[in-house]
Each structure stands twice: as C-alpha cells, then as structure tokens.
Amino acid sequence: MSSISLRSLSKQYTNEKHTLENISLDIKDKEFLVLLGPSGCGKSTLLRMIAGIEDITQGEVYIGDVCVNELEPKDREVAMVFQNYALYPHMTVYENMAYGLKIKKVKKIEREKRIQAAADILQINPLLKRLPSQLSGGQKQRVAIGRAIVKEPKVFLMDEPLSNLDAKLRNEMRIEIKKLHERLDSTFIYVTHDQVEAVTLGDRIAIMAEGRFRQIGTPMEIIESPVDMFVANFISSPPINYLDAALVERDGRVYVDIDGVLLEANLPVEMMEHPPQIVAGIRPEHCSITEDSTDALSMNVLFTEIIGTDVLLHLSYKELHFIVKKSFDQTYAKGQRLNVALTSKHVILFDQHTQRNLRSPQ
C-alpha cells in the first residue's frame, strides 16, 4: 500500500512564524495529488517533509500504515524529482540512474534490468552513454524521472519538475508524466504553481496559501465551486472577472442583479433577511458575445489576444478590465461596442466581506 496520511503536520524555523501549520490530509493509494499554490506557501517544504529531507516540527507522516518520521529518506520507499534535475555532471546518464541502486546494494543484473526498463518507458536509450552537459533540458528531466523510476518506490514526489522547460516541452512532458502515472500505478505527489499543470495532471488538487490548505478537491470541483475568491483567482487562467452585484427578491425567489441584468442566484430566500454585499465572479470562458442587448452588459474592446485557436477579448466596463474567451472566428476592432451575455449557471457569488463562495458547502 502506498497511501499517505499527514497528521497535524507543522513546520517552524527558529524564531520565525510557522511555515506550515496543522496540515492534515489522506492521500489514496495510487492517487495523483497536486499541491498548488503561490511561491512561499509551503508546498515544497511539505513535500520535503514527506521525503524526509526536511525535519518535522510537529505531527506525523504515515506511508501505508508505517509512521516514517524517524526513518531516513532512503528507507521511506519514496523517490523525488527536483526542479533543477540534480544530476551528477561527471557521470553518464546510465551511471546517474544506477547510482542510487548501487548505494542500496542492488545486484548488477537487477540494476541493468531496471535501467533498461526505465529507459524504454522514457525513450532515452540513445542517451545512456552521454553526460548531462550533452543533454537538453527536456532530456535531463527525463533522466531525473528515470532515476526515480529505477528505485521502484511506493511514492513519487515531484517538485516543480517542468518549470525550467519551455512551453512546448512543458506540454509534452505533462502528457508523459500523466502516462507514466497510469503505467507505473504508483502514488504521485506533484508540486506546482501552474494551474494548467494542476488541472491537467491531478486526480485531486490541494490549494495552499500561507502554510495552510484553502481547498482540496477534484479539478472540476475546484473550478466549478471555489471556496473563496483566492481559490477562484488562483485556479483561473485567464483571470476570473469580478463585478459588483446585489441580491434581490422577486416572487419568493432570489436573483443576482448585475447592473440590471437579473440571474437566478440559487440561494435560499431566508438569506434575504440579512442579505450580504456580494461580488459576482465570471470566468472568461463562460461569457458570450450576443447581438441582443437585452440582459447583456455593453462593453468596449481594448485589444484582442490570440492564443492558438482561441481569442481573448480584453474589454472595458465601467473602468474595469473584463476578459471574454471565445473561438477565433472573427476579428474585433479597438473601441468596438459589444454585448456580453452571462448565464446563471456559471456565475459564482462571493460575500464581499468574507470573500467566501455563498454556495460552497466547505
């Protein structure tokens, strides 16, 4: 079993506030969990605590049913892939992959079998005699992953492994890592600050901020129902749009009023006894351009941004910057007036004071 249980983990450096505080989480056997958050939120520290290369101030880490707090990293049956590859420059690719196995006194015939199997999976057979200086960034990362595979660990720990690669290579390696997880059938914990990586790779995503979990759920759960405005901001690419709004009651039902456009709020009418001030969040992909100005907001085009077969329309609305994402099927001129339609299903309502999602159960 390669399930992982984090129980009330905390990390505090001398005379500093907690980097991590009271972190608890159960990671299922063979799950792909992504730790997502801004720089400095504690996600890499948490990964290193699981690996055993960072001391734990308080709490326990279980791998399977074994508490590993007192175990050396080499005895935890985990393998870690770092952002900077961490390859030995004077060793060939083969020697880099074999080194950890030699330390564990794995017999030569078994070493060769594992290295060959990993090289086949990652398609790096032609690279085995090369030095790291003779490899591209993508090749180095494949070798670093191969070095982890040959250890046959229960758990793979990956700390922003793609951040040094260019955009095209990142896309390719994301697919390879996803395939690798399915093929190896192991537990993966993956650290990133890139929301595209998170939603592409993760069975679940744990969003972190200031040393705590803000929300844990499947990509779809977090996208459709972020617990607060921080999560909504962080999981949205391009950025989510925000508009001031108000709750109104009509015939015993609650609506959200966005500058005269009424949308179903899907909130209990009892909330209208003390209605909160609200902000409406609308993702760029959930807006549409319409010829009908009824129940739509009128906006001016600032500029357009073409991304592959999509276009981002950057619009101005009452001195706010508003983005609409749509297919690239026509051109728009700067200053052009457009009607932007919203739908009840995709508008997320936040309490302006607490910034919490009014519909979120968490």
Please, are residues 308 and 289 in contact by the beta-carbon 8 Å criterion? no
In the chain, which segments carry CATH 2.40.50.140? 241-351
CB atoms within 10 A of CB 322: 21
In the chain, which segments carry CATH 3.40.50.300? 4-234
Q: What is the DSSP-derived secondary structure letter of residue 126?
A: G
CATH class held by domain 241-351: mainly beta
The tens place of each residue's pLDDT in the chain, 362 residues long, gives: 689 999 999 998 877 777 899 999 999 999 999 999 998 899 999 999 999 999 999 999 999 999 999 999 988 989 999 888 889 999 999 999 999 899 889 999 999 999 999 998 888 999 999 999 999 988 998 899 999 999 889 999 999 988 888 888 888 888 889 988 988 889 999 999 999 899 999 999 999 999 999 999 999 999 999 999 999 999 988 899 999 999 999 988 999 999 999 999 999 999 999 999 999 999 999 999 999 888 899 999 999 999 888 899 999 999 899 999 998 878 899 999 999 999 888 899 999 999 999 987 65
> How is 303-335 classified by DSSP, letter by letter?
EEEEETTEEEEEEEETTEEEEEEEES-S---TT
CATH class held by domain 4-234: alpha beta
CA distance 77 to 72: 10
Q: What token pair was written down for 186?
A: 């192991």
Please, are residues 11 and 57 in contact by the beta-carbon 8 Å criterion? yes
- Amino acid letter, 121: I
